Amino acid sequence: MLEQTKLHLYYYWKTSWTTILTFWGIYIFFIALMFIAAFYGSNGSIMMTGVNIAPGLIFSLFFGIFSFKDTFPYVIELGLDRYSFILSSFISIILYTVAMTSISQIVLHTVDYLINLFSLENFEFSGLEIATTDATSTSSIVLYEGLLYLLFFSFSILLGSVFFRFGLKIGFTVIAIFPIMMIIQPIAHKVLDALKYIAIGHELYTPFAFFVPYGVIAILLYVIVYNASAVGNN
Q: Does residue 231 belong to any structural domain of this protein?
A: no
pLDDT, tens digit, 9 for 90 and up, residues 46-85: 877 767 788 999 999 999 999 998 888 888 887 888 888 8
Q: Judge whether 234 lies within some domain.
A: no
Domain count, the chain: 1
Asked if residue 191 is part of any domain, the answer here is: yes
The residues, ordered by sequence, that sit 6+ positions from 115 with a Cβ below 8 Å of its Cβ are 123, 124, 125
Question: Would you say residue 67 lies in a domain?
Answer: yes
Query: Which has more confidence, 79 or 98?
Result: 98
pTM of the predicted model as reported, rounded to 2 decimal places: 0.91
Residues sharing a CB contact under 8 Å with residue 126, sequence separation 6 or more, in sequence order = 48, 49, 50, 52, 108
Residue 232 forms part of a structural domain: no
Please give the residue range of the domain that contains residue 51.
2-226
Considering only residues 85 and 150, tell me which one the structure prediction assigns the higher pLDDT: 150
